[in-house]
Amino acid sequence: MGNILYLVVPCYNEEEVLHDTADKLGTKMRALAAGGKISAGSRIVFVDDGSRDNTWRMIEGLGEGDKLFAGVKLSRNRGHQCALLAGLMAVRGEADMVISLDADLQDDIEAIDGMVDAFLGGCDIVYGVRKNREKDTFFKRSTAEGFYKALKWFGCDIVFNHADYRLMSARALEALSDYGEQRVFLRGIVPQIGYKTAVVEYDRGVREAGESKYPLKRMLSLAFDGLLSLSLRPLRFIIATGVAMLVLAFALFVYSVVAAIMGQSLLDWKIVTFSVWAVGGLVTLSLGVVGEYVGRAFVESKGRPRYFIDKTMGLEQSRGDGVGVRVEN
């Protein structure tokens, strides 16, 4: 059977949850194999994103005890998106389908069954989408939903309430490998691939141990990366604002001329001062936005590697050699 499934799990300082995650994912993979949905060559691949704790040693220990587990270690911390991409590219050509998910397992692993079913039904990309955000705080919920709505408003093609919990077929991964951006934003890149897609909804749980790897600062950085890598609307907004300012300036000029002819006083100095400061701030902001685009173009033009893989573990075996999932009776 050729239905080889690889789970790709980025990890950064996840020693507190790693063993529990491995147990739950191992149980899920064996259940899928017992049901005939995936083949014995399937594996779970943990990607160590330059962790400072014992994450990599724990991954090695898992692989030594069970060939179901494999690992990829990056040379240094490159961020969640690069770590995820590194794992996907490391298993490209080895699996028929790959599912990416976070190590904290807040994303319900029972949704994996639905993703595999959709793949077997002919879908190349299956998005895991949260049903709701009732367990989030009001601040987290409002900012997260605002993030998706803002990107949509700026013309970015993303799936609402979808993070990086998704299934991709082998040919979808091949298409993904053709994207060479340095600043990776997979939530925006994957929908551009096309192919047949499906959505599997699930309820998101809470992190049982460890700390979130996406505090507010990183979430804002991710949103900024997504916006500037997917849309030119900020630049067009600057143009539209500039045109509006010119129209306003012309209207004020006409008003000043008419007021002078009619013997009325011209604009108060406070209004003039406010206008100067407003225009100055707008110009500075516009230069900043343009500078971000120019800077990113400069970085992209260098074509530097996005990451380096220090070592791998358990990925040296050939495709379908049967040392992965063992069905236990």
> What are the structural domain ranges in the chain?
5-213+305-313, 233-302
pLDDT tens-place string over residues 234-293? 777 777 777 787 777 777 777 777 777 776 666 566 666 777 777 777 787 778 777 777
* C-alpha closest to that of 306 among 177, 158, 167: 177
Q: Supply the pLDDT for residue 329.
A: 41
As a whole number of Å, the CA-based R_g of the chain is 25
Mean pLDDT split into 10-residue runs, the chain, 329 residues: 86 90 91 86 91 91 88 89 90 91 87 92 91 67 69 72 88 89 81 89 68 60 67 74 77 74 66 72 78 73 79 67 49
Q: Supply the pLDDT for residue 319.
A: 45
Q: Supply the pLDDT for residue 245.
A: 76
Amino acid at 86: A
Residue 111 CB neighbours (<10 A): 20
Q: Supply the pLDDT for residue 169.
A: 93
Q: Supply the pLDDT for residue 318.
A: 41
Q: Enter the CATH code of domain 5-213+305-313.
A: 3.90.550.10
**Tokens coding 266:** 């011209």
Instruction: Supply the DSSP string of 119-180, one letter for each residue.
Output: HHTT-SEEEEEES--TTS-HHHHHHHHHHHHHHHHTT----TTEEEEEEEEHHHHHHHTT--
- pTM for this model (two decimals): 0.73
